[in-house]
Structure 1
């Protein structure tokens, strides 16, 4: 009798565990149609532009977002509020070791580690963001509608050893100060 009950419990546990994976789906992000916009701030204004995804995927349990993973092509940093020589100078500086050091760190990654529903189609997410070989958690909101998702992230560059022009590391920068936080606005198509 005990064996029959134990066997029934084991069978039930396996069935429940297996059913949890039945609806698990990974959806690849269309990197050509998706867009990542960045905006950095300084005392005297801001600059903005785009950066391309190299790859990405979102994980779902049925229709519910459960995770995801993204690789960003750091060589694709593109300033869109400037043109000509000034654009080329800023793009080059952002790619240099003063900022993202793309020669040694050609990609950045984000792996979503926790997702909590915050309303219909809306989620609070936590992910491990790696920039310049340093990994730190980042919290952000993400919304999913059909085959599209949007997310907004605020990143503190000082956590990734990006110190150039930072008032957190240097005194007396005055109007040359570049704020530590920058924004990423992400539109995904999958």
Structure 2
């Protein structure tokens, strides 16, 4: 009887070990840059401006259906405003691309690489990542939700951390109503092929 119990215990231990070492299913979902959008909104004392910037590339990584990683590249030369038209838009966009703001000619790419992910509910995550703008990398934390073959993230970015100083009250005094707030918002809507 003791031998049977020992044999059963041994068989159970082996079967548990076998289950524990089964390979975890990993998937990389390549984002469709054309169907995905990155929208920005920046604020000043007298109002706000909105616009978009295009993705170069992006991917989300999953393990057994749970988000475990991600990395994205944005084409800064596509930066544009959507709340203005004509000369007003051209003037604002030209200024944003200049060395006063994002120095697009020198730094034509911004990147985001996920470094930590915590589940906050069904299909919802708190993500920590390294955001690089103008060659400067700083950590950011934001919320991301996944729905089927789509995901949405909202980020607050402190431009002062990336040496984007123009009109910033953090660097200049007595700007009055010409002050542009340091924080701007990004809303990222991602889409990929479900079969990928």
Alignment TM-score, normalising by the size of structure 2: 0.87
Q: Deviations over 1:54-110 (max 9, x none)?
A: 000000002100110000000000100000001000011111111110111000000
Rounded to whole Å, the distance in 2 between the matches of 1:169 and 1:38 is 22
User: Could you tell me how far 1:24 is from its partner in structure 2?
Assistant: 1.1
Candidates 62, 65, 74, aligned match of 2:67: 65
1:86 lines up with 2:99 in the alignment: no
Higher CA-based Rg: 2
After superposition, the Cα gap between the structure-2 partners of 1:130 and 1:17, relative to the gap in structure 1 and judged at 3 Å, is farther
Rounded to whole Å, the distance in 1 between the matches of 2:41 and 2:47 is 10
Aligned runs of 1:7-18 on 2, under 5 Å?
Answer: 16=20
Candidates 114, 118, 140, aligned match of 1:138: 140
User: Could you tell me how far 1:125 is from its partner in structure 2?
Assistant: 0.3
| Residue 179 (structure 1) aligns with | 181
Rounded to whole Å, the distance in 2 between the matches of 1:123 and 1:34 is 19
1:37 lines up with 2:74 in the alignment: no
User: Could you tell me how far 1:165 is from its partner in structure 2?
Assistant: 0.2
| Residue 48 (structure 2) aligns with | 46
After superposition, the Cα gap between the structure-2 partners of 1:17 and 1:163, relative to the gap in structure 1 and judged at 3 Å, is farther
- Residue aligned with 2:170, SS: coil
* C-alpha RMSD over aligned residues: 1.7
Rounded to whole Å, the distance in 2 between the matches of 1:157 and 1:16 is 46
Structure 1 unmatched ranges of 5 or more: 1-7
Runs of 4+ in 1 over 3 A off after TM superposition: 15-18
| Residue 9 (structure 2) aligns with | none
1:151 lines up with 2:160 in the alignment: no
Structure 2 unmatched ranges of 5 or more: 1-12
Alignment TM-score, normalising by the size of structure 1: 0.90
| Residue 7 (structure 2) aligns with | none
